[in-house]
Amino acid sequence: MSERLFRFAVIADSHVNPSDEDLISPYESHRLTNARLAHTVEVLNALAPDFTVHVGDMIHPVPEAVSYPDAVARFKAAVGRLKAPLHLVPGNHDVGDKRADYVPAGEICEPYVDLYQRHFGEHHYAFDRDDCHFVVINTSLINSGLAAEARQARWLEQDLQANASRRTLLFVHYPPFIASADEHGHYDNIDEPGRSWLLSLVARHRLAAVFTGHVHNFFFNEHAGTPIFSLPSTAFVRGDYSELFAVGQPSEHENGRNDVSKLGVLVVDVYPDRLVPQFIRTQDRPEGAAPQVQRDWPQLPPAAGAREPGLGLDLRYHWGELHQIPYSSMLDEFRRKQARNDYPILALWEMGIRALRVPLDDLSDPASRARMRALAALGSRFTVFLFGWPTDGQIELLRQHQGLLRALELIVKWPLAPDLGGRLGALRARVGVPLHLSRFWSASGQSRDGKQIKLLVDHGFAGPADPAAKELLEHTRGQGFDGLVFRVAADTDVDEGITGAAAFAARHGLRAQVHVRLASDSPAQARTDAQANGVRALGAAFTSRGCPQADVFLDTLSDVDRGYFPRAGLVDRRFNPKREGQALRNLHGALSELPAMDAPRWVRDPQFLVGAARMDRSQLLLVLPLGGAALMQLPDWLDTQDLRVRRWLDLASGEERAWPASDPDTAKVLDGPCLIELATCRVEERALA
């Protein structure tokens, strides 16, 4: 990746109160907004952006409130501690609501614009950094009919035209839309005709990105190739969007408003050829505690289009589903509005996972296909699977959208057709993407172990010893396809399953597509041990990094707490990262900074699973505790004077640790997975012999 030019941050909706003893909200969490902005300032200073943009609702009192000046003073005192410049975007609390009959507060007017300018400065303006042009506008003005609206519109059109040769980024408060560009007007979008006017400028000038606030949740959209990021708040979550999650809210969440895992900032690293966004969760800071800053990994995600090694995920839950948000007697009372749960996308980005597996149905559906296209523009690629032979229409669809795809996974049924090899070659030529083959196992009859009758749908070769894999290769002479699909059952060691499949496929000049199950092989047996599934996920990620000839997919993103095969995932049902998901994020981030590694070798003892892999001039160890104790001794063979430790990374927190060199009874403890880089390779000879 080329050298980073600069970094900026975006924050939204701090809603500062005029005093620390809030008297203007029925929610206890609202009293914490000032403290949460102070914490956010410390996080930003640690992340060290070159500047920050606040996309509006700096304060909570609206312009007609007598406490407006006091809240402004509190806001300025808090952000005055920032070490880098801050640029402000007017929000509806700062300058008045957009003009519409259904808005609950005072609408924008010329006196409110004057009030904003006296306290905050210009309400539309632009600035430059390197080859980038940054534009701020006042979206409360759009459709207002005020003279200031016409002035802003003329200025914006002229400014975009004058800077047509630059990468231009637009910062607004109101999102143009939440779910689709043709949705009806509601509290959380820009009404027509102003919406179409603004989107036409976005399309005509091919803006690099648009950043919005107002919704206090994460939404990701795309318009004419431009990504639109709607950001969570630093202060609280909008409770109406809790309907996106098929799970209840604990009492401390205040019905979703105080779900602190969703608070945070967006950091954007700017490179000559791309923008790399990262969401950094600020969580909450207990009173008197030191700030905890989530580790940032600017290499996530890497360049779009690269077929880099790494872990992929099966998107079993519908990841583009539109939810009907109930009218709530709060902000939208007279019409329903639609929204998607985009937190799965955010979780995937955070964990550095861009290889995704979906059914062909997703590519066939126009709305899902649009989401695939938007994600592909930021580096994601899809393996699309299909049972049986594709129709001519499906083949044409695959051919037209081959730029979104890593591979077509074809699940075939036995007995094999006599002319299968020739048909596969013709199919691969038509679709224009690699073709991977999987074996369909009968939906009824004897199970794999022959012990019981089952009524399950299953597929994938059982491993290198599966006679069906050899039969397929002999039947087709290994021609007409590019990879074999293997299934690593829950009772199979993940490293052996991946390396064995990769080695077998490589001997035949093929790729291995390996499905690692976190679920049990029984639909009634729960696998809810989050630590055990986390070890399995981290082991799969580490092994896949050393096996670039394999595409490895986990079967689970979020917890499955109903239906068949209940199991623990990497995020919970609110799509907040669990400890295991955070560890995977930090593992992928650390590996992205390191050179290529060989396939790891593994050692097991009752307490630990340890993977050891050679790199160019060092040795890399992934140490995974297997027990449930909070603190465990490091393996004895790591406590030697001749090991030169270059790095010890706590994967759960992302923190660098000092190698324990004092009292072995107190210093040699481990409370979670860690990654250790050694300047010597002797450990492999001693521990893995």
Separation CA 199–CA 224 (nearest Å): 9
Angle (deg, nearest 10), helices 467-476 and 420-431: 80
Do 91 and 124 fall into the same domain?
A: yes
DSSP structural state of residue 4: P
Do 577 and 609 fall into the same domain?
A: no
610 to each of 52, 168, 474, 541, 542, how far by Cα in Å? 41, 47, 38, 13, 11
Separation CA 181–CA 184 (nearest Å): 9
523 assigned to some structural domain: yes
| Tokens at 75, concatenated | 């806001």
Is residue 243 within 8 Å of residue 222, measured between CB atoms? no
Separation CA 266–CA 53 (nearest Å): 10
DSSP structural state of residue 287: T
Q: Which domain holds residue 204?
A: 6-290
Last residue of a domain, one of 560, 592, 624: 592
Do 235 and 350 fall into the same domain?
A: no
Please report, for the domain that includes residue 450, its CATH number. 3.20.20.80
Please report the pLDDT score of residue 304 as a whole number. Answer: 44
640 assigned to some structural domain: yes
Please report the pLDDT score of residue 635 as a whole number. Answer: 65
Residue pLDDT, tens place only, 300-339: 554 444 556 679 999 998 888 888 888 877 787 788 899 9
What would the DSSP string read from start to end of 576-608?
Answer: PBPHHHHHHHHHHHHHHTS---PPPEEEE-SSE
Please report, for the domain that includes residue 605, its CATH number. 2.60.40
Beta bridge partners, 11, equal 54
Tally of domains in the chain: 3
Do 588 and 605 fall into the same domain?
A: no
Separation CA 626–CA 533 (nearest Å): 10
Separation CA 445–CA 451 (nearest Å): 10
Last residue of a domain, one of 592, 622, 650: 592
Rounded average pLDDT per 10-residue block, the chain, 689 residues: 89 94 82 94 96 97 95 97 98 95 88 98 97 98 97 98 96 97 95 98 98 97 96 95 87 90 96 92 76 73 55 90 83 86 93 94 94 90 95 97 96 89 93 95 55 70 91 90 94 92 95 94 88 94 93 93 91 92 94 90 86 90 78 61 78 84 59 86 49
Residue pLDDT, tens place only, 633-667: 666 666 545 567 888 899 998 988 877 655 555 55
Question: 601-604 and 511-516 as β-strands: parallel, antiparallel, unpaired?
Answer: unpaired
Question: 167-171 and 209-212 as β-strands: parallel, antiparallel, unpaired?
Answer: parallel
Angle (deg, nearest 10), helices 579-592 and 343-351: 50
Last residue of a domain, one of 547, 563, 592: 592
68 assigned to some structural domain: yes
Please report the pLDDT score of residue 286 as a whole number. Answer: 66
Is residue 188 within 8 Å of residue 174, measured between CB atoms? yes
Separation CA 57–CA 546 (nearest Å): 47
Do 98 and 27 fall into the same domain?
A: yes
Do 531 and 667 fall into the same domain?
A: no
123 assigned to some structural domain: yes
474 to each of 393, 418, 480, 515, how far by Cα in Å? 30, 12, 13, 23
Task: Give the angle 16-195-143 at the CA atoms, nearest 5°.
Answer: 75
Please report, for the domain that includes residue 202, its CATH number. 3.60.21.10
481 assigned to some structural domain: yes
Separation CA 409–CA 485 (nearest Å): 8
Please report the pLDDT score of residue 135 as a whole number. Answer: 98
Do 432 and 370 fall into the same domain?
A: yes
Separation CA 559–CA 579 (nearest Å): 13
What would the DSSP string read from start to end of 273-336?
Answer: TEEEEEEEE-----TTPPP--PPP-TT-S--TT-----EEEE--S-TT-EEEEPP-SSS--SS-
Please report the pLDDT score of residue 545 as a whole number. Answer: 92
Please report the pLDDT score of residue 104 as a whole number. Answer: 78
| Tokens at 607, concatenated | 């307490």
Do 621 and 577 fall into the same domain?
A: no
Separation CA 272–CA 291 (nearest Å): 32
Is residue 536 within 8 Å of residue 311, measured between CB atoms? no
DSSP structural state of residue 59: B
DSSP structural state of residue 261: G
299 assigned to some structural domain: no
329 assigned to some structural domain: no
Do 134 and 283 fall into the same domain?
A: yes
600 to each of 258, 492, 621, 624, how far by Cα in Å? 42, 17, 9, 14
How many CB atoms within 10 Å of residue 528? 12
| Tokens at 61, concatenated | 């009192």
Question: 322-325 and 601-604 as β-strands: parallel, antiparallel, unpaired?
Answer: unpaired
Q: Where are the alpha helices (DSSP H) in 324-461?
A: 343-351, 360-364, 366-376, 392-400, 420-431
Do 586 and 607 fall into the same domain?
A: no
520 assigned to some structural domain: yes
How many CB atoms within 10 Å of residue 300? 21
Do 282 and 347 fall into the same domain?
A: no
| Tokens at 247, concatenated | 């799970």
Beta bridge partners, 629, equal none
Please report the pLDDT score of residue 305 as a whole number. Answer: 46
pTM given for the model: 0.92
Do 426 and 536 fall into the same domain?
A: yes
Q: For residue 662, give every residue at least 6 positions away whose Cβ sits within 8 Å of its Cβ, in sequence order, or none.
A: none
How many CB atoms within 10 Å of residue 595? 10
